Amino acid sequence: MVPLLLVAVVLLGAYVLLTQTLFKRAKCKGNAAMSGKTVIITGGNTGIGKATALHLARKGARVILACRNRNKAAAAIAEIETQTGSTDVIYVHLDLASLKSVRSFAETFLKTESRLDLLINNAGLVADGRTEDGYGIEFGVNHLGHFLLTNLLLERMKKTGGGRVITLSSMAHRWGHIDFNALVANKDLGTGRYSWQFFHAYCNSKLCNVLFTHELAERLKGTDVTCYSVHPGVVRTELSRNVGLWQKIFIQPVAWLLFLDPEMGAQTTLHCALQEGIEPLSGKYFSCCEAQEVSAHARDDKVALKLWEVSEKLCGLG
């Protein structure tokens, strides 16, 4: 009886510790007005993106779901309309694994929309494979597609004034590394058919997100557009839909017990979208609705600049 009691106490203690650290929850308290404002959310048809879209639609924003799957987008829009009463949520096709699709999306948006107040680079994946342009799928979707999209829309954001670019990264960026020689030679930051291999590539892509935001903030100085990178928490989403069966068998029970639901996972994104007065923190990394320090390799000016310049070349910009 006593050993069982000790085990129970240890398990309870571990649960409490995990929910206050790795799986900590936070609530967005920002309440900036959104009526009349336009928002783009990549991957806005599911998970964190959909939860973010629902909240912003409820506040009166015009929300554009930029994603691949029309049917999922239609289902998400119907759900958002039912819950919020909004009739200003639309779908525009965007495949971040195709630079041609990114350019097409931006061209359509710039022709049809007069303003852009929030660009939320939300979409991401953990998978192996290649993009339409031959890049590693994680580097291509998680970083390069968003890099191009942001650059194509920046002038409209500057014209609108007061806009924010929010890019979802992850605490996984801590384990990332950027090998520029390998990137140029292989067009990826890691690949392989085993889950641990493409998880490492995922970490590298999430480091790209933080460095991209760091350099973008430098380039936005002198404007009233700001940018932030976000760790949403460890969230139950479709992010890991491409991992192997045995990983899913292990992950899913833990996920249901500890992981945040998408609504809680959206809170730090919403904080960066709605909290007034955070403009001096442009370029910073946020977690649990507050700015967090990152390690030296995630705020290295030279690496951030080189990543920007290499990304420009890969996208055909400049």
Each residue of 110-138: pLDDT tens digit?
A: 999 999 999 999 999 988 899 999 999 99
Residues 6+ apart with CB under 8 A from 145: 96, 97, 98, 99, 102, 123, 131
Residue 24 in this model has a pLDDT that exceeds 90: no
pLDDT of residue 15: 38
What does the angle CA 241 – CA 257 – CA 285 come to, to the nearest 5 degrees?
A: 65
Residue type, 290: E
Structural domains of the chain, with CATH = 25-315 (3.40.50.720)
Over residues 51-70, the mean pLDDT reads: 97
Report the distance separating Cα 298 and Cα 177, nearest Å: 9
Set 15, 91, 135, 202: catalytic member = 202
Phi, psi of 132 (to 5 degrees): -60, -30
Residue 202 falls in the annotated catalytic set: yes
pLDDT of residue 238: 52
Quick one: how far is CA 64 from the chain centroid?
Answer: 16
Percent of the chain with pLDDT over 90: 78
Residue 213 in this model has a pLDDT that exceeds 90: yes
Residues 6+ apart with CB under 8 A from 92: 64, 65, 66, 105, 108, 109
CA-wise closest residue to 166 among 93, 270, 76, 317: 270
90, β-bridge pairs: 64
SS3 209: helix
Q: What is the pLDDT of residues 278-297, one digit of tens each?
A: 999 999 999 999 999 999 99
The answer to whether 163 and 118 have CB atoms below 8 angstroms apart is: yes
pLDDT of residue 190: 82
Over residues 188-215, the mean pLDDT reads: 87
Which pair of structure tokens corresponds to residue 203? Answer: 């970490």
pTM for the whole structure: 0.87
118-121/164-168 β-pairing: parallel
pLDDT of residue 16: 39
Residue 130 gets which letter from DSSP? B
Q: What is the pLDDT of residues 297-308, one digit of tens each?
A: 999 999 999 999
Report the distance separating Cα 300 and Cα 235, nearest Å: 28
pLDDT of residue 258: 46
Residue type, 242: N
CA dihedral for 147, 103, 279, 229, sign (positive or negative): negative
